[in-house]
Structure 1
Amino acid sequence: MSVLIRLANRSMLQRSMALSLSRSIKTSQKKDDTAAVITPSSKEDFANPNPKNWVSYGFDYKDKTNDRNTTKLSFFTAVTLCLVWGTFLWSYSPDPQLRDWAQREAYLELRRREQAGVDLVNPNYVDPASFNLPSDEELGDVEIII
């Protein structure tokens, strides 16, 4: 199996070397004929050139200035308004679920109970008379994990 893999790798290496040796840059003597340069023929054409070789950003395919203005406006809106101000508002907006307030209140309540010398958590938070626990005889050998 390993022999087949080595032979396959060797043949692929030889093919890639042959391809890289056969590839070369070829130039033509007619290189001036490949690009068409439009030069203004009159004073009006020279004063108001028509930009034929512009690439549209996809907002307007006929008017260059409208295309550029719409592009700049959309990028300004997307980056500045959405990303920058959106991140700022999301970071500094108040806590809608009041997690910070609940934690602050819990620390204040713990400090108040420590200063008063009371248990931090009341062992009779739920009234023991409101529910029935099984007796020790009913539990028997059941392991209780607290």
Structure 2
Amino acid sequence: MSALFRMASRNVLQRSISLNMSRSIKTSQKKDDTAAVITPNTKEDFANPNPKNWVSWGFDYKDETNDRNTTKMSFFTGVTLCLVWGTFFWSYSPDPQLRDWAQREAYLELRRREQAGVDLVNPNYVDPASFNLPSDEELGEVEIII
């Protein structure tokens, strides 16, 4: 077993050495990349030879501290307060349209009607005397779709 492990580790070692050797060969015609250095243009730039490389987040283009504080505050407000607490509130808030209550009441009413032996849905839900329907002569050839 140990001999098998030694052979496998040698094989892995030899493969990694051959890969490292093949990776060191450059096939590109391009020589080493060069970097451009920005030279100072004004007297203030000459006076301050090492300016900070600051890129604004877009909240304040002149003051770095105000820009960073506004950025952190807006991300804290947007992510923590709106997304986290908003999702928590939305998930655990009570049902505003009472859909769960209506479904529970419907199941209870169905059970009550089944036990009483009454029709589940009353065919005369609306009293027929409370509205007037046209007669067959008044309808004529009108197609009635139910």
TM-score range, shorter chain: 0.5 to 0.7
1:97 alignment partner, SS class: coil
Check if 1:118 corresponds to 2:90: no
2:75 maps to a residue whose letter is F
Distance 1:138 1:56 in 2: 78
Give TM-score, length-normalised by structure 1: 0.56
Q: Which amino acid aligns with 2:94?
A: P
TM-score of the superposed pair, with normalisation by structure 2: 0.56
Aligned length: 110
- Cα distance change, pair 51–81 in 1 and its aligned pair in 2 (3 A): farther
In the other structure, the counterpart of 1:107 is: 107
CA distance in 1, matches of 2:125, 2:101: 22
* Deviation for aligned residue 1:104: 1.7
Q: Within 1, Cα distance between the matches of 2:71 and 2:54?
A: 14
Where structure 2 has 5 or more consecutive residues not aligned to the other structure, the ranges are: 1-28, 41-47
RMSD: 3.6
2:101 counterpart SS class? helix
Three-state SS of the structure 1 residue aligned to 2:112 is helix
Letter of the aligned partner of 2:124 in structure 1? N
Choose 135-144 or 63-72, whichever is displaced more: 135-144
1:69 corresponding residue in structure 2: 69
Q: How far apart in 1 are the matches of 2:126 and 2:89?
A: 42
* Pair 77,142 (structure 1): closer, same or farther in 2 beyond 3 Å: closer
Per-residue deviation at 1:122? 1.2
- Offset of 1:137 from its aligned partner? 6.8
Shift in CA distance, 142/77, structure 1 to aligned 2, threshold 3 Å:
closer
* 2:96 is the alignment partner of 1:89: no
Instruction: Report the CA distance between 1:51 and its aligned residue.
Output: 4.9
- How far 1:130 sits from its partner (Å)? 2.6
Determine what percentage of the aligned residue pairs are the same residue. Answer: 84
The 3 A distance-change label for structure 1 pair 55 and 25 is farther
How far 1:110 moved relative to its partner? 0.8
